[in-house]
């Protein structure tokens, strides 16, 4: 009965889910693991991984694999960024215990962490790709969690921090994700050559400890701002910012 993108608690996932393929019964994990086994046995795949999974799901998949004599998954592809570090909780512990690595997507928080939606307009790159062609302008209702008011405020702070150290916001966000010990690799998405070059350059950057501490300081101020803990409408409205 997961995933439901946005909520930070299982309670809100259960309340918000209208339909579900299953309720996470043990038999459903066995069925999927046996399907993977058939692909492994046929030589069609060498390794496999999970996506949008929780600590419960990772644990159930791995113990089911052990019971059935099937190779465990080796990675977990979850949404993860400076604006959503929820992976670092129970999910990370499950990965560590069962020897899986993170393979995160969403490292730029849907583009919010590139700075292109910033009020300063310093990173719009209009000549490269007009802002009105960007995801959150063309389809504002798609993955709107990335544009929560608190997420945009956090993104502004990360952009300012990147500038302080002579980096672009994109370089900061990707270099940080790449530096985390639990990530095996980082998934990127690009639409222009310039974006490819910027992303590749980010993986050549080693962030100093001082900068990493400043990143954590912003994180303490803005805890996973793309997620909501009680009500999604509250998070999207952020009325406390208008008081």
Backbone angles phi, psi at 183, to 5 degrees: -95, 130
The pLDDT value given to residue 197: 94
CA-closest candidate to residue 70, choices 30, 25, 24: 30
CA separation, residue 167 to residues 114, 121, 206 (Å): 11, 16, 11
Express each pLDDT in 187-205 by its tens digit. Answer: 998 888 999 999 999 999 9
**Model pTM?**
0.88
Backbone angles phi, psi at 208, to 5 degrees: -70, 155
Window from 121-125, 157-161, 191-195 with minimum mean pLDDT: 121-125
pLDDT over 70 at 2, yes or no: no
Place of tokens 């400043």: 214
């Amino acid at each position: 009965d997961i995933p439901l993108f946005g909520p930070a608690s299982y309670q809100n996932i259960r309340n918000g889910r209208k339909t579900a393929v299953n309720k996470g019964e043990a038999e459903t994990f066995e069925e999927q693991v046996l399907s993977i086994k058939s692909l492994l046995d046929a030589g069609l795949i060498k390794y496999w991984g999970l996506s949008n999974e929780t600590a419960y799901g990772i644990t159930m998949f791995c113990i089911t694999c052990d019971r059935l004599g099937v190779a465990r998954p080796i990675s977990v592809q979850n949404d993860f960024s400076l604006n959503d570090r929820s992976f670092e909780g129970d999910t990370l512990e499950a990965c560590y215990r069962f020897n899986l690595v993170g393979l995160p997507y969403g490292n730029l928080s849907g583009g919010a962490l590139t700075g292109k939606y910033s009020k300063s307009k310093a990173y719009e790159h209009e000549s490269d790709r007009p802002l009105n062609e960007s995801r959150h302008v063309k389809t504002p209702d798609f993955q709107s969690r990335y544009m929560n008011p608190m997420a945009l405020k956090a993104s502004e702070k990360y952009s300012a921090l990147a500038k302080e150290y002579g980096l672009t916001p994109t370089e900061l966000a990707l270099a940080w994700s790449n530096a985390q010990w639990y990530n095996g690799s980082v998934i990127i998405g690009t639409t222009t050559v310039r974006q490819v070059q910027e992303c590749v350059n980010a993986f050549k950057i080693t962030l100093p400890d001082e900068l990493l501490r400043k990143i954590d300081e912003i994180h303490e101020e803005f805890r996973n701002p793309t997620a909501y803990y009680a009500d999604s409408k509250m998070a999207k409205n952020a009325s406390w910012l208008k008081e």
